[in-house]
Amino acid sequence: MTAERTVLACLDPGPAARAVVETARGIGTLMGAAVEAVHVGRQASETLRTLAAHHDVPLRLLPPPTEAALLGAVGAPEVVAAVVGARATPGGRRPTGRTAMAVMEGTSRATVVVPPEAVGVSPRPFRRLLVPLEGSEESSRPVVECLCPLIVTEVELVVLHVFTPETVPRVLDRPGRDLEMLGDEFLTRHCPYATRIEWRTGPVGTRVTEAYDREDADLVVLSWSQHSSVGHAKVVRDVLTTSTIPVLLLPVGPRP
Amino acid sequence: MAPAGRDRPLWATGIRQDAAGRAHIDAVMGPDEYHPVVDDNTYTNVLARWNLRHAAALVEATGGDRDEAAQWRMLADALVDGFDPDRGLHEQFAGYWNLEPLLATQIAPPPFTADLLLGADRVAGSQLIKQADVVMAHHILPGEMAPRSLAADVAYYEPRTAHGSSLSPAIYAAQLARARRPDDALALFRLAARLDLDDTTGTIAGGLHLAALGGVWQALAHGFLGLDPTGETLGIDPCLPTPWQALELRFRFRGQPVAVQADREAVHVTCRAPLAVRVGGRPPQRCDPPHTTIPLEATR
């Protein structure tokens, strides 16, 4: 059954291409899926062909227009995740290009956004995923129902919850003991697959970035509404802007 | 706190005296855990003073070393208790007045955990407190606090309290009622009473907050009903919130079961043997079994 699963590496000649292929292989291992690279155009550059061949990934050409072609490929029933590149230059602050955003917003599949700095994360198997959760059923469900059943390797899921004035515990008699109890309750309700939970306070995007670095995580997992306009998905935009490791986005819509 | 008796009270060795003869207790933590190491915590000093005096009395009554008992009394008399006559308030600990003047409502609606929201260092440098501290001293040892300081202390500290401890709301409810603010008391009483029902702490899976429930009973007994069991006369001084028509509690006083019901007009005492009660500021009077009604109008 798992042989039917496919992870699509969406390649373009940008600086993240190598990281995209490597991450796609890592995601493929994580989900027990084959990896296929796709490129929109009549032909792929020598660089892309060499890159795909070097990683033993078949490369398929898709006819333009770009966004429609990618969404069509990603929407195939065997595809469980799409991997796209982010940012024009390493260290640049432009989070995602128009094409990547179109895939992120237009597909019901998991989308992995890979910054150029993520080179070298794979092909080492993913060991630790950081899963920021706000504590709502809406944001937890995609992780529990869509992501966790796809994972076939031993991987540690570390949940991160960033307290806000609205979610901070109202009472802590004995902080160490009470936070442990709150953590057990949080994981039971929102992510029983997780190994442990980390608590933080402050700006969520910043805390997520700090946490994946501290936890030495390989992948950040975020649920999102697929609305990236101003006023929506601030955490997703903040994390995509600053993250140097791949970010897996799970739509909160119906189960794919 | 060490038990009084043949052993020296803990405080007899833990008190520092300055050149002026004033006595201090350094480096302690009172009920307010947001300020973990402080000097001259009012709550601690007041309890230590009470402890020393009672230990001295016990030693004297049992034929112990009177010189040592006298030394304890001197220490107790010299202990500073944080009362600031200029403000008419108790300072929670030495230096509290100089901390960042933050009110709880500037951060979030109480209850909330200020240390998580702001960080432990910021909170420790502010006047935000986790729970009743000076007000807890009023609750436990009202007779040890400066006369007529309760209302001012409650009015000052309540806005600075995050109620980040389950023990806090009920104690404030009791003392707000004693300060003749029963409707304000009721809001915190409801918070305390519903703590586990509403899973306010998020830890109900770990069990009930029994100490908080005990605080709820104390708020009813000592706060709204104004029961004072000190001595052989039962004090009763009800102060009911607007929505309540009456309050009744059953308990044991000096070995006998007693029921006290207070409404807007009177206090009704049920007992099995003659009982001395003191209602409001009136002199003690005798209640005969089974029922005695004492009108309240004359007490106000």
Given A90, A118, A146, the domain boundary residue is: A118
CB B149 within 8 A of CB B197: no
CB A236 within 8 A of CB A222: yes
For residue B196, give the chain A residue with the closest CA: A171
CB B162 within 8 A of CB B113: yes
Rounded to 5 degrees, φ, ψ at B219 are: -65, -40
Task: Note the pLDDT of residue B173.
Answer: 98
Q: List % helix, strand, coil for chain B (3-state, nearest 5).
A: 40, 20, 45
B33, B60, B68, B144: which is the annotated catalytic residue?
B33
Nearest partner of B194 among B178, B213, B177, judged by Cα: B213
Residues B265 and B237 in one domain: yes
Which of A168, A182, A199 faces B203 most closely, judged by CB atoms? A182
Contact yes or no for B116 and A168 at CB 8 A: yes
Whether A114 is covered by a domain: the verdict is yes
Average pLDDT rounded to a whole number, residues A81-100: 76
Higher pLDDT, A93 or A213: A213
A46 near B CB under 8 A = no
- Domain, as residue range, for B207: 166-223
Task: Note the pLDDT of residue A92.
Answer: 60
Distance from CA of A142 to the nearest CA of B (A): 24
Q: Which two tokens stand for residue A231?
A: 């006023």
A54: buried, middle or exposed (CB in 10 Å: 19+, 13-18, 0-12)? Answer: exposed
Residues B206 and B177 in one domain: yes
Element (H, E) at A98: helix A98-106
Residues A6 and A67 in one domain: yes
A182 near B CB under 8 A = yes
Task: Note the pLDDT of residue B7.
Answer: 57
Whether A16 is covered by a domain: the verdict is yes
DSSP H helices in B62-181: 66-78, 114-118, 120-124, 134-140, 150-157, 168-178
For residue A165, cis peptide bond before it (omega within 30 degrees of 0): no
The whole-angstrom separation of Cα B65 and Cα B70 is: 9
Residues B232 and B272 in one domain: yes
Mutation to test the A interface, candidates B32, B105, B116, most A Cβ within 10 Å: B116
Contact yes or no for A170 and B111 at CB 8 A: yes
Q: What is the CATH number of the domain that holds A73?
A: 3.40.50.620
Q: What is the CATH number of the domain that holds B272?
A: 2.60.420.10
Residues of B with CB under 8 A from a CB of A: 107-108, 111-113, 115-117, 119, 163-167, 195, 200-203, 205-206, 209
Contact yes or no for B163 and A171 at CB 8 A: yes
A201 near B CB under 8 A = yes
Q: What is the pLDDT of residues A135-175, one digit of tens each?
A: 999 999 999 999 999 999 999 999 999 998 788 899 999 98
Given A118, A149, A171, the domain boundary residue is: A118
Task: Give the count of domains, chain A.
Answer: 2
Annotation marks residue B297 as catalytic = no
Instruction: Record the pTM.
Output: 0.82
Assess whether pLDDT exceeds 90 at residue A14.
no
Task: Note the pLDDT of residue A216.
Answer: 93
Residues A149 and A220 in one domain: yes
In chain A, positions 162-181, which contact chain B (CB-CB < 8 Å)?
A: 163, 165, 168-173, 175, 178, 181
- Domain, as residue range, for A224: 128-248
The whole-angstrom separation of Cα A35 and Cα A163 is: 37
Q: Which residues of A touch B208 (CB under 8 A)?
A: none
Whether B149 is covered by a domain: the verdict is no
Whether A177 is covered by a domain: the verdict is yes
Residues B300 and B235 in one domain: yes
Contact yes or no for B117 and A172 at CB 8 A: no
Predicted confidence band at A91 (pLDDT cuts at 50, 70, 90)?
Answer: low
Q: Which residues of B touch A184 (CB under 8 A)?
A: 205
Whether B3 is covered by a domain: the verdict is no
Contact yes or no for B119 and A168 at CB 8 A: no
Mutation to test the B interface, candidates A171, A188, A198, A207, most B Cβ within 10 Å: A171
Whether B205 is covered by a domain: the verdict is yes
Q: How far apart are the first and last CA of chain B?
A: 39
The whole-angstrom separation of Cα A170 and Cα A180 is: 15
Mutation to test the B interface, candidates A162, A168, A170, most B Cβ within 10 Å: A170
Contact yes or no for A163 and B117 at CB 8 A: yes
Contact yes or no for A171 and B201 at CB 8 A: yes
Contact yes or no for B117 and A173 at CB 8 A: no
Q: Is A95 left (phi over 0), alpha (psi -120 to 50) or beta?
A: alpha
For residue A163, give the chain B residue with the closest CA: B117
Predicted confidence band at A122 (pLDDT cuts at 50, 70, 90)?
Answer: low
Q: What is the pLDDT of residues A23-76, one digit of tens each?
A: 999 999 999 999 999 999 999 999 999 999 999 999 999 999 999 999 999 999
The whole-angstrom separation of Cα B139 and Cα B228 is: 11
Residues B279 and B210 in one domain: no
CB B60 within 8 A of CB B155: no
Contact yes or no for A168 and B117 at CB 8 A: yes
Whether B254 is covered by a domain: the verdict is yes
Which of B108, B119, B165 faces A171 most closely, judged by CB atoms? B165
Whether A18 is covered by a domain: the verdict is yes
pLDDT mean values, one per 10 residues, chain B (300 residues) = 55 89 96 97 97 95 94 96 97 98 95 94 98 98 96 98 97 98 98 95 89 98 96 96 98 97 97 96 95 78
In chain A, positions 84-113, which contact chain B (CB-CB < 8 Å)?
A: none
Which of A173, A175, A201 faces B166 most closely, judged by CB atoms? A173
Please give the mean pLDDT across all residues of chain A. Answer: 90
Residues B217 and B230 in one domain: no
Task: Give the count of domains, chain B.
Answer: 2
The whole-angstrom separation of Cα A70 and Cα A100 is: 10
